[in-house]
C-alpha cells in the first residue's frame, strides 16, 4: 500500500471515529460499543497516519478529525433551538452572595500557593531536570531547552493538582514531594 492510500485510510478512519462518537453521544443512553468503536477508529487513524508518514501522518489524521468535529459542531449550532431558561445572574462563584463572607485571606493564600509557590517548585523541577541532563552527558543546548520546556508544563500540572486539593495540608505535601527531585541537582550545582 502506498503512502497516499494509507493517508486516505487514516483520514477516513478519523472522520468515521468522530462521526461515531457524535452519534453515540447523541443517543438517549450512552452506548459502550459505539463509544468503543469511535475511539478505536480514532486510534486506528493515528496508527495508520503514523505508519504512513510519521508525525506528519498523525497530524493529517488529526486535522481530518478536527475538521469533521468542526462540521458537526456547526450543524449542531445551527440546528439547536433557542433555550427558554434565563441565564444566571451570578458569576460562577467568583464573588460570594451578599450574606456570605468574602474569604479574601483564603483566596489570597490560594493565589500565593498556586501562582507563586507552584511556580517556584516548577522552577526547581526544571533545575533538577537540567542537572540530571548535565549529569547524563547531554550537551548544554539540549538540557537547557529541556529545562525551559519542562517548567511551564510542570507548573500547569502542579496548579491543577493544587486547585483540585482543597486541603492546605495536602497542597503542602504535593509541593514538598515535587521539590524532592531538585535536592540532588541543587547539591551538585544544577549542572554545568
Number of domains composing the chain: 2
Q: Which residue reads 496508527 in cell numbers? A: 47
- Phi and psi at 92, nearest 5°, equal 25, 55
DSSP secondary structure string for all residues of 148-185? HHHHHHHHHHHHHHHHH---HHHHHHHHHHHHTTHHHH
Residue 191's pLDDT is: 46
- In a domain? residue 67: yes
Residue 46's pLDDT is: 94
Residue 132's pLDDT is: 84
Q: Which domain holds residue 60?
A: 3-76
**Distance separating alpha carbons of residues 147 and 151, to the nearest angstrom:** 6
Q: Give the pLDDT confidence of 28-74 residue by residue, as tens digits.
A: 888 889 999 999 999 999 999 998 888 889 999 999 999 999 999 99
Is 43 in the same domain as 115?
A: no
Confidence of residue 92 (pLDDT cuts 50, 70, 90): low
Question: Which segments of 80-139 does DSSP mark as H helices, in order?
Answer: 104-111, 118-135
Q: The C-alpha cell of 109 is what?
A: 493564600
87, pLDDT greater than 70: no
Q: Give the pLDDT confidence of 113-125 residue by residue, as tens digits.
A: 999 999 999 998 9
If 0-12 CB within 10 Å is exposed, 13-18 middle and 19+ buried, where does residue 83 land? exposed
Is 26 in the same domain as 67?
A: yes
Is 125 in the same domain as 60?
A: no
Q: Give the pLDDT confidence of 131-185 residue by residue, as tens digits.
A: 888 888 889 888 889 889 999 999 999 999 999 988 899 999 999 998 887 787 7
Residue 95's pLDDT is: 63
Residue 44's pLDDT is: 94
The gap between the terminal CA atoms of the chain, to the nearest Å, is 49
- In a domain? residue 30: yes
Amino acid at each position: 500500500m502506498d503512502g497516499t492510500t494509507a493517508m486516505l485510510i487514516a483520514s477516513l478512519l478519523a472522520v468515521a471515529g468522530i462521526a461515531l462518537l457524535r452519534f453515540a453521544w447523541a443517543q438517549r443512553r450512552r452506548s459502550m460499543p459505539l463509544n468503543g468503536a469511535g475511539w478505536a477508529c480514532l486510534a486506528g487513524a493515528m496508527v495508520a497516519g503514523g505508519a504512513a508518514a510519521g508525525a506528519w501522518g498523525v497530524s493529517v489524521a488529526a486535522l481530518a478529525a478536527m475538521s469533521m468535529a468542526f462540521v458537526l459542531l456547526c450543524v449542531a449550532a445551527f440546528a439547536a433551538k433557542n433555550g427558554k431558561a434565563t441565564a444566571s445572574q451570578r458569576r460562577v462563584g467568583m464573588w460570594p452572595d451578599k450574606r456570605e463572607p468574602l474569604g479574601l485571606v483564603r483566596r489570597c493564600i490560594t493565589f500565593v500557593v498556586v501562582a507563586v509557590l507552584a511556580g517556584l517548585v516548577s522552577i526547581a523541577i526544571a533545575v533538577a531536570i537540567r542537572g540530571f541532563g548535565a549529569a547524563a552527558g547531554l550537551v548544554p543546548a539540549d538540557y537547557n531547552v529541556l529545562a525551559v520546556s519542562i517548567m511551564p508544563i510542570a507548573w500547569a500540572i502542579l496548579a491543577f493538582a493544587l486547585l483540585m486539593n482543597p486541603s492546605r495540608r495536602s497542597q503542602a505535601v504535593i509541593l514538598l514531594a515535587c521539590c524532592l527531585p531538585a535536592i540532588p541537582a541543587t547539591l551538585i550545582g544544577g549542572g554545568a
